[in-house]
A and B are shown apart, each in its own frame.
Chain A
Amino acid sequence: MAAEAKVDPMHQFVIEPLFGSNNWAIAGHNIAFTNSALWMALSTLALVIFVSGGLRREVIPGRWQMAVESFTGFIDAMLATNVGPNGKKYVPYVFSLFMFILFANFIGLMPLGLVGIHPFTFTSHFTATGVLSLLSFGIVLVVGFAKHKLHFFSLFVPHGTPVAMIVPIFFVEVISFLVRPFSLGLRLFVAMMAGHVLLEVLSSFVITGGNAGPVLFAVAGLPSFLLMVGICALEILVAGIQAYVFALLTCVYLNDAENLH
């Protein structure tokens, strides 16, 4: 191992089929059960276990039930402030979205490599985050057009727009609207990938510095290691913030669809 000290910071994002599922396919498309899919499954499992602790339905909640209720209360409040009373019906979706991303981000950060299991952060793949952002965007479109019919297009002409400016503003607004699913998905993917790459690069400094002798270890390895500790804390924060931003922006977009403006 020490002989091959080169660390590839991108290797952690490589998708590999597991359990010989290479050739699984639906209608000619490959649906191999990959390491990415495995960690999606584990996130779902962890989330199910976590939320099932909130099902005791006691009047005086225990610690676990309290934790689950604080999350549902958080999402409930977020929808209430951003969408209003109409937002109540989106609680299941936004809660699933927020918690799924949060658990994926957190599980991807767990130091399970110490016991030989390498967590895979599937939120660092835009193919995964894109699905979620397109889902949110799709819901906004469906709700918007179902509720306001073609009047939904008035979303693209803000109040008080001078008549001469209506056409250019309309195009600008349409473009900014259509960019939403991309910005939503890319933001999460970039944030997660950047953090993981940074940690990997710093860890490669620690390893190569350590292999190059005590002086270089003291000059480069040790500071990098200390920096890693700090950045790990930052990444935990980012994991939460990105899940929050994703859920919050979904709420804001849902507000457009529900209430126009």
Chain B
Amino acid sequence: MPQISQLADTYFSQIFWMLVFFGLTFVIVGRGMVPQVVSTMTERNQRIGQDLAAAEAARNAAEAEQESWDEAEAAQRANAHALIAEAKHKASLATQASLAEATARIEAQVTSAEARIIAARNAALGEFETVAAEIAQDITQRVAGLAVSTDDARSAVKGPFAHG
């Protein structure tokens, strides 16, 4: 077993070179390179973390924006509905008012027209009475030779007219 049989001759060289080369490894690789590699990884992880945080924040902002937009939209929609309802209400009120006015006007016209008709009819009936009385006077004059006064003729004619 050379590890033991050569021990006395080689132990110092082994230990010496081991310290030299492990020392070199530690100084060059361990102290020189590893911190840089580790810092690269740390920086990358930080950057990834920051990017993720930024993305998260952006998403939250977008969601908040969406929410406020939704709210504004709902508010505007409600507003529009109210406006439409009010306009409808006003329009129906106006319609009712103008309808009532037109109805009243028509009613008035109808009433006055009726009154005029009644007056015309009465006037016409009066005319008939006068004409009938004159005719009756005239007939009595010619047939019976009686001179009937206008008032008597009128009152005689009036009876049938009143029932006519």
Kindly report which residue of chain B lies nearest to residue A50, judged by CB atoms. B29
Minimum distance in angstroms from B56 CB to a CB of chain A: 20
Contact A69 B40 (CB under 8 A): yes
Choose, from A8-16, A140-148, A219-227, A231-239, the stretch at the interface. Answer: A8-16
Residues from chain A with a CB closer than 8 A to the CB of B90 are none
Kindly report which residue of chain B lies nearest to residue A57, judged by CB atoms. B40
A31-B3 contact in complex given A51-B37, A57-B36, A72-B37, C-beta closer than 8 Å? no
Query: Digit string of A1-32 for contact with B (CB within 8 Å is 1, else 0)?
Result: 00000000011011100000000001001111
A127-B33 contact in complex given A32-B13, A96-B26, C-beta closer than 8 Å? no
A213 to B69, CA, bound (A): 92
A93 to B20, CA, bound (A): 15
Contact B25 A15 (CB under 8 A): no
- Of the candidates A34, A76, A91, A193, which one forms a contact with B17 in the assembled complex, judged by CB atoms under 8 Å apart? A34
Query: Quick check: is A54 within 8 A (CB to CB) of the other chain?
Result: yes
Contact B26 A92 (CB under 8 A): yes
Residues from chain B with a CB closer than 8 A to the CB of A130 are 15
A40 to B25, CA, bound (A): 10
Contact A125 B14 (CB under 8 A): yes
Minimum distance in angstroms from B20 CB to a CB of chain A: 8
Residues from chain A with a CB closer than 8 A to the CB of B43 are 59
Tally chain A residues at the interface, Cβ within 8 Å: 51
Query: Quick check: is A132 within 8 A (CB to CB) of the other chain?
Result: yes
Query: Digit string of A146-175 for contact with B (CB within 8 Å is 1, else 0)?
Result: 000000000000000000000000000000
Query: Digit string of B19-50 for contact with A (CB within 8 Å is 1, else 0)?
Result: 11110111011110111111011011001000
Residues from chain B with a CB closer than 8 A to the CB of A43 are 21, 25
A185 to B149, CA, bound (A): 170
- Of the candidates A32, A92, A100, A122, which one forms a contact with B34 in the assembled complex, judged by CB atoms under 8 Å apart? A92
Query: Quick check: is A126 within 8 A (CB to CB) of the other chain?
Result: yes
Contact A131 B6 (CB under 8 A): no
Residues from chain A with a CB closer than 8 A to the CB of B30 are 92-93, 95-96
Sampled A-B contacts (13; CB under 8 Å):
A11-B2, A13-B1, A15-B2, A30-B9, A34-B17, A37-B13, A54-B37, A72-B38, A91-B34, A92-B30, A96-B29, A125-B3, A131-B14
Interface set of A (CB-CB < 8 Å, partner B): 10-11, 13-15, 26, 29-34, 36-37, 40-41, 43-44, 47-48, 51-52, 54-55, 57-59, 68-69, 72-73, 76, 91-93, 95-96, 99-100, 122, 124-128, 130-132, 135, 189, 193
Interface set of B (CB-CB < 8 Å, partner A): 1-3, 6-7, 9-22, 24-26, 28-31, 33-38, 40-41, 43-44, 47
